[in-house]
Amino acid sequence: MAAKTISPELMNKYKTQYAETLESLSAKQPVLLVFLRHFGCTFCREAVAELGGLRKQIEAGGTRLAFVHLADGDEKARKFFGQHELQDVPRIGDPSGELYQAFGLLQAEWHQYFNYESIVRMLIAWLHGHWVGAPAGDVERMPGTFLLVNGEIKKAFRNKLVSDRPDYLKMAAVC
């Protein structure tokens, strides 16, 4: 995939809880930017738990982990990420979905939720304790994962189904 650049205006519009922009984050070092659906999503809870376990490996490779979420305000986000000991990881709230749209993460269609693969994966996630919770954000928005370097998308994983999972370590590896 050829590198894609997101507009500098948009890269500087949204800020983390530390007042850092995506532009400044990705200028310092590569960023594994994980877009979540909503905090009640079984698969998002599973992803955050997995990333919590992989964080040291991701950072050891020189890549910084960061999240984009759809919740309004930071209180719900702080609580959600705190449950996974990721409260210090940069996070950006995008309740309007503008960043999601710019990164090509669109509204899901019914077959992206209700399909055999997602139902089986959901049952497996439940067996591992990743239950459904109260949604905080747009429940129809699709998730995705990107490697940003100097404001450019170097790698992209746009979920085809809500249950898709990228190889986070492979995504975080800088070419």
As a CATH number, domain 4-172 is: 3.40.30.10
Q: Which of 21-25, 59-63, 113-117, 147-151 has the lowest mean pLDDT?
A: 113-117
pLDDT per position as a tens digit, 107-120: 776 555 666 566 66
pTM for this model (two decimals): 0.85
Amino acid in position 59: E
For the chain, what are the domain ranges? Answer: 4-172
Q: Is residue 89 within a helix (H) or strand (E), and if so which, with residue range?
A: none
pLDDT per position as a tens digit, 88-100: 999 999 999 999 9
CB burial of residue 11 (10 Å; 0-12, 13-18, 19+): buried
60 or 76, which is more confident: 60
Q: Are 144 and 103 in contact (CB under 8 A)?
A: yes
2 or 166, which is more confident: 166
pLDDT per position as a tens digit, 120-155: 666 665 666 655 656 666 667 889 999 999 999 999
When pLDDT is averaged across residues 35-44 and rounded to a whole number, the result is 82
